[in-house]
Structure 1
Amino acid sequence: MARPKMTQALTKVEQEHLNLLLMEDIDSECLAELVWDTPFFLKEIAVEIVDVDEHYNTKDYIYKCIDGRYFCLTITQHSSMGDIESAYFYEVVPKEIKKIIYETKEN
């Protein structure tokens, strides 16, 4: 029988820090710094390229919190200059998608 994964409650200070991140303004440098300076209670689990064009690129950084919740940091930045155009941090829910791949039949 598999044991359930244990989650840990956030301390009051950690919860306040998380609340501040969720309320940050979209052009805040604080959100962009999450990529390099992630708090202890968040663990980056995935990075996905959302959109790329000649002027801007957008990436989603997915984090799992020690309390079991998931969050996404979406950053859009200028492709050549690297300047942050916008940043959003919000809670997400994982959804499993099953995909069937069809391959050429071999004789």
Structure 2
Amino acid sequence: MAKKNEMSVNIGISDKDRKKIAEGLCKLLADTYTLYLKTHNFHWNVTGPMFNTLHLMFETQYNELALAVDAIAERIRALGYPAPGTYKEYAKLSSIAEEEGVPEATEMI
């Protein structure tokens, strides 16, 4: 985590604990954003007899994930740390693998 944008905050949590919490939230943010991208990809590329149902389901999911991404990033900032915001950072922090190619609809769910 970069120190140059670190803010001094006093919210009743020690600096050490704030850092640990922010680090965990950065990983959660990376996972959530990666899942958002996968879900959006599935929304765009789903085909087959379940198209309409899955297309709408994926849309609902990626909209919820977008809200979660924002909330997590703002929580990191409230702890006094910069939120990661690049694909490179997300790839390094995320435990979710990117999807290669376009899977079948049954593999998407």
Q: TM-score range by the shorter chain?
A: under 0.3
More strand by share: 1
Per the normalisation by structure 1, the TM-score is 0.26
Rg comparison, structure with higher value: 1
TM-score, scaled relative to structure 2: 0.26
Q: Which structure is higher in helix share?
A: 2
